[in-house]
Chains A and B, each alone.
Chain A
Amino acid sequence: MLAPGFADPVHDAQDTFRAVMDALARPGRPRPLRAGLEPPAPLTPELAAVALALTDADTPVWLDAGLAAAPEVAVYLRFHTGAPLTDDPAVAAFALIGDPARCPPLGTFACGTPAYPDTATTLVLALATITEGAGLCLAGPGIRGTARVALAPLPEGFVAQCAENRADFPLGVDLILTAPGRVVGLPRSTAVTEN
């Protein structure tokens, strides 16, 4: 049977959006994300919450290989969001990535155009852990001085990919990183370094 969506569509969507908004406004600072969803595996409750809160018929969604291989995930997302699923990461408004270690290079997604940088893809990744105060060093708008956050697992050469993503600012993708119960934002404006 199809798993249910938000128990309270209005306020659960608002809660999820506010957590994501605060996360992107203050990169590197994890926010609690309680969704109460039980989507079909390998879709995590946090990925499902972001998808249900932000996607609809106007937003093509791209699924990574693991999520695309499970037909229940597509059925769940189509039913609850009405979002069209796409095979082409370069036209996706949102990309859901259940296996971050094998996330395609950030450059394969839409990075916007100089006149309309807002048309870039928003990537939503399901990590295992997000730990504040250690790990990668972040700086940029939304951060007082610098912030540190440890993220695992990450794709190969993540820091170099972030540097490349930021090099063409205002072009670039934005990342919403989730782990069980929390979310952290990494917009294209953030500079990411190892230490």
Chain B
Amino acid sequence: MSETAMPASFPSPLRGGVRGGGGADGTVALDPALPPPPAPPRKGEERGDTGSGYNFAYLDEGTKRMIRRAILKAIAVPGYQVPFASREMPMPYGWGTGGVQVTAAILGRADVLKVIDQGADDTTNAVSIRRFFAKTSGVATTTRTAEATIIQTRHRIPETPLSEGQTLVYQVPIPEPLRFLEPRETETRQLHALAEYGAMQVKLYEDISRHGHIATTYAYPVEVAGRYVMDPSPTPKFDNPKMDDCPALQLFGAGRERRIYAVPPYTRVRSLDFEDHPFRVQEFTYPCALCGAEGVYLDEVLLDDAGRRMFVCSDTDHCEGRRADGHVGTGDAA
């Protein structure tokens, strides 16, 4: 065999080799002491634009394709959890790695991104994710719900009704609604396959027998399009009715648990309940102390060691918008 003969196992790009260079093209570094030259930026790789040195929206194109395929299957089977090869992200699990990967896969240059954390645009998690995408993709960001095309959220749905042009991306910690009833993934998968959700009804019934009412207040299980029972992520159950027949597309990403699921627009999302114990959302005694809004979700804010507290809108954009329009609350402790 001559020195120039090609090995039989040469991975030809015409026979399903990995694309995008990076060693699969058969190049071999001759001197291991020399570091390989940096790969030239591929056409369309926006290294110059954002100055971040990363591909557009951080993820490489192969990862985006894999996530995109999972998203399409999630949309086709509403409420079903599609496994995907979740990547390590430059933030810890629990900080929204699933939502960030979904957002990175769907994000385009024309998008306007809003990120909220419990309704707030100005908390650490929301600010750092918004900056992450501003830096790695250069897309416009906003805090105004109506202006955003993609809203990444950690557990709240904005008070401002969503519209058809918007996509809501949820960060999900535990995507499996049956996980605390059945720890084995092999079993929960079978339960979903058989649509066997009796255990969930028993759990809600145990709430009633113990507390006199369904005491589940967040991550309240829903049935999507009459088939799959789904964890709506730990949103307060106050937001569950907003998921039903929503004009916006809702995507859910769980990074640590490696699952993506979806609720297409205008899809029936029913909160599980009983005829004699119908589903009810939280009610608040007071209006928002800052903007006077009623019928919105409120956060309790402790004011001092004497236990004085006030209730303010959880959705900061909604509250700011109302105050700009001249609405005023009492400004006092409840």
Contact = CB atoms under 8 A, between A and B. Distances in A.
Given A54-B68, A82-B18, A141 B267 contact: yes
B76 A18 contact: no
Contacts of A108: none
Contacts of B69: 54, 59, 93
B45 interface: yes
A81 B62 CA distance: 10
B178 to A, nearest CB: 14
A20 B15 CA distance: 27
B249 A25 contact: yes
B109 A11 contact: yes
A142 interface: yes
Contacts of B56: 10-11, 14
A78 B65 contact: no
Instruction: Classify chain A's interface size.
Output: 35 or more
Contacts of A92: none
Contacts of B72: 20-21, 24, 54, 122, 174
Nearest to A10: B44
A187 interface: yes
A118 interface: yes
A21 B264 contact: no
Contact of B66 (A7, A58, A84, A170): A58
B193 A14 contact: no
A83 B16 contact: yes
Contacts of B17: 57, 82
Interface residues of B, number: 55
Among A10, A15, A169, find the residue whose CB has the most chain B CB atoms closer than 10 A. Answer: A10
B14 interface: yes
Contacts of A13: 61, 64-65
Contacts of B189: 115-116
B77 interface: yes
B43 interface: yes
Given A8-B44, A9-B44, A187 B19 contact: no
A188 interface: yes
B108 interface: yes
B211 interface: no
A118 B77 contact: yes
Contacts of B80: 117-118, 170
Interface in B208-267: 225, 227-228, 247, 249, 262-267
A18 B108 contact: yes
Given A54-B69, A82-B18, A143-B266, A189 B44 contact: no
B289 interface: no
A20 B83 CA distance: 20
A57 B13 CA distance: 10
B16 A78 contact: yes
Contacts of B228: 170
B162 interface: no
B190 interface: yes
Contacts of B267: 141-142
B322 interface: no
Nearest to B68: A17
A57 to B, nearest CB: 5
A189 B77 contact: yes
Nearest to B16: A84
Contact of B65 (A7, A56, A80): A56
A116 B263 CA distance: 18
Contacts of A115: 189-190, 192-193
B296 interface: no
A56 B20 CA distance: 11
Nearest to A22: B249
Interface string B6-41: 000000011111110000000000000000000000
A170 B247 CA distance: 23
Among A56, A83, A114, A144, find the residue whose CB has the most chain B CB atoms closer than 10 A. Answer: A56
13 contacts: A8-B44, A9-B44, A9-B45, A13-B64, A25-B264, A75-B14, A78-B16, A82-B17, A116-B83, A118-B82, A169-B227, A174-B72, A188-B76
Given A22-B249, A26-B264, 18 more contacts: A11-B109, A12-B44, A14-B64, A21-B106, A24-B72, A26-B265, A81-B19, A84-B16, A114-B194, A115-B189, A115-B190, A115-B192, A115-B193, A118-B77, A141-B264, A143-B266, A170-B77, A189-B225
